[in-house]
Amino acid sequence: MQLYKITEQVLLAYQEIDEENGNGREALEQWQAEFEYKLENCAKVVRNLDAHEEALRNEGQRLLGRAQTAKRRAQGLKEYVQKQMERLGMTKTKAGLFSFNIQNSPLRVDIIDEGLVPHEFWSRTQVIFDKKKLGEHIKETGEIPKGVQAHQGTHLRIR
């Protein structure tokens, strides 16, 4: 039986208890036991899903490591081929299905000292809000600054 149906039965059993002679308490206890059993099983499923999620994350990290290794190996092989072509003075060649060209890369600019770069080359600075500090301010003062929305949610913790 689904949890929501068991919940409905528990609520119904509460309403049907006769306070004077105690009739209906047994039914209520049975439904409460069924409710607790269902909660335990839900917690087991949650734990299983959490473990599955962790396993998938670990597998993803393992695969990411393999992908990075493959990328480094491909880049190393390209550099090796380029060096050998340069040693022979070649800038273009064909080999079977592939053609090889050594060409100039796009210009790369590195900023060494930001203070010396003329302002005309600056772009807008990204504004980052300190949400933790805002939350502490709201908790301490109860005041919510303009442009801010605060909400307190709830969550279930299973131990």
Q: What is the pLDDT, as a whole number, of residue 41? A: 96
pLDDT in tens, 140-157: 998 888 888 888 887 777
CA distance 26 to 13: 9
Look up residue 132 and give its amino acid.
K
User: Which of the 8 DSSP states describes residue 121?
Assistant: G
CA distance 67 to 55: 18
- Report residue 109 as tokens: 């600019």
pLDDT exceeds cutoff 70 at 20: no
Of residues 109 and 36, more confidently modeled: 36
With beta carbons less than 8 A apart as the criterion, state whether 17 and 23 touch: yes
Strand stretches in 11-149, DSSP E: 92-95, 98-101
- Report residue 90 as tokens: 């070649």
With beta carbons less than 8 A apart as the criterion, state whether 35 and 6 touch: yes
pLDDT band at 117, cuts 50/70/90? Answer: confident
Q: What is the pLDDT, as a whole number, of residue 63? A: 98
Please tell me the least confidently modeled range out of 50-54, 124-128, 131-135: 124-128
Q: What is the mean pLDDT of the chain?
A: 90
Q: What is the pLDDT, as a whole number, of residue 154? A: 78
Provide mean pLDDT across the span 79-87. Answer: 95
Provide mean pLDDT across the span 51-71. Answer: 97
Within 8 A by CB and 6+ apart from 43, the residues are: 158
